[in-house]
């Protein structure tokens, strides 16, 4: 079968079968989608954090709905054309029936792969504190619904357990998700090259590494990631932070001098630009106290 005859998922599967590390830059709007295609990247990554901030002026706290994300998936997939799109689907936007609906909608919009995470709703950026997890059994139900619903797209299972339960628990969850049928395993926010190496050795499935500019995971030379056997490396915030800092400099140049933020180098600082503290205040005021 020729490349032109392959489906979106089929093109990504062929890339993974080739054994080369797939670099997928973060896409958050039409311009970055065009740049990823024109600059020759073999895949793109639709970042939920980027869509929330650049598209809707919101921090990555589970405030963006499924329909809003599907709209962006459709636009970006259309711009990318034959370049496969990996898309963030957060927690799947609900219980297993909602997850199944999400996967079907993402597929109709043109994705090659759907990423689902095991955070409890409302989720938050994987590089912010205060995350909570669903149980393994609950996530396996969501994952099973996704696998049953998909007809073409790869399913990427993300665990945020490293920050909540530790690296061993994250690896245990990753292997459980792989055994359940996930195509690619994504352990969020390892803190060192040593942890990245352990994940590569211990997870028995194709692996994705999330390289977040301004996040908790160190940037590792791509040659090292290839040697370790990672299948995909996503760079969701590289262009996002660069564009933000360039915009600050440009606006300063035409007279913007009030409350100018310093160069943004951390994701927490970036999200403060789009109201992180205000939304945290709403949550703290109105969320019920947890029983001990």
- pLDDT tens for 71-120 read 999 999 999 999 999 999 999 999 999 999 999 999 999 999 999 999 99
Q: How confident is the model at residue 291 (pLDDT cuts 50, 70, 90)?
A: very low
pLDDT of residue 288: 77
The answer to whether residue 2 scores a pLDDT higher than 70 is: no
Give pTM, 2 decimals: 0.94
pLDDT of residue 62: 85
What sign results for the dihedral spanned by CA atoms 231, 190, 157, 87? negative
Q: For the segment 5-44, what is each residue's pLDDT rounded down to a tens digit?
A: 799 999 999 999 999 999 999 999 999 999 999 999 999 9
What sign results for the dihedral spanned by CA atoms 18, 22, 27, 31? negative
- At CB < 8 A and 24+ separation, what contacts does 77-83 make? 77/8, 77/109, 77/110, 77/111, 78/110, 79/30, 79/33, 79/34, 79/37, 80/27, 80/33, 80/36, 80/37, 80/44, 81/37, 82/3, 82/4, 82/11, 83/36, 83/37, 83/41, 83/42, 83/43, 83/44
Give me the chain's average pLDDT, please.
Answer: 93
Q: For the segment 168-201, what is each residue's pLDDT rounded down to a tens digit?
A: 999 999 999 999 999 999 999 999 999 999 999 9
């Amino acid at each position: 079968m020729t490349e032109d005859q392959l489906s979106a998922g089929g093109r990504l599967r062929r890339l993974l079968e080739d054994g080369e590390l797939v670099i997928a830059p973060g896409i958050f709007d039409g311009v970055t989608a065009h740049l990823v295609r024109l600059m020759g990247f073999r895949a793109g990554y639709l970042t939920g954090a980027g869509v929330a901030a650049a598209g809707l002026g919101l921090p990555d706290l589970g405030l963006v709905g499924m329909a809003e994300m599907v709209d962006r998936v459709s636009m970006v997939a259309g711009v990318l054309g034959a370049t496969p799109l990996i898309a963030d689907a957060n927690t799947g936007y609900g219980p297993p029936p909602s997850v199944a609906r999400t996967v079907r909608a993402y597929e109709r919009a043109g994705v090659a792969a759907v990423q689902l995470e095991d955070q409890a709703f409302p989720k938050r950026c994987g590089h912010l504190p205060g995350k909570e997890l669903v149980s393994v059994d609950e996530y396996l139900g969501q994952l099973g619904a996704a696998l049953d619903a998909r007809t073409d797209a790869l399913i990427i299972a993300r665990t945020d357990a490293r920050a909540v339960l530790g690296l061993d628990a994250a690896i245990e969850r990753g292997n459980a998700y792989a055994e359940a049928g996930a195509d690619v395993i994504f352990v969020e926010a390892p803190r060192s090259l040593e942890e990245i190496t352990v994940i590569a050795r211990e997870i028995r499935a194709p692996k994705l590494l999330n390289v977040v500019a301004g996040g908790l995971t160190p940037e590792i030379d791509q040659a090292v990631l290839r040697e370790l056997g990672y299948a995909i490396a996503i760079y969701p915030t590289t262009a996002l932070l660069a564009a933000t800092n360039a915009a600050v400099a440009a606006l300063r140049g035409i007279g913007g001098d009030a409350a100018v933020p310093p160069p943004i180098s951390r994701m927490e600082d970036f999200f403060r630009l789009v109201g992180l503290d205000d939304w945290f205040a709403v949550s703290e005021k109105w969320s019920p106290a947890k029983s001990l």
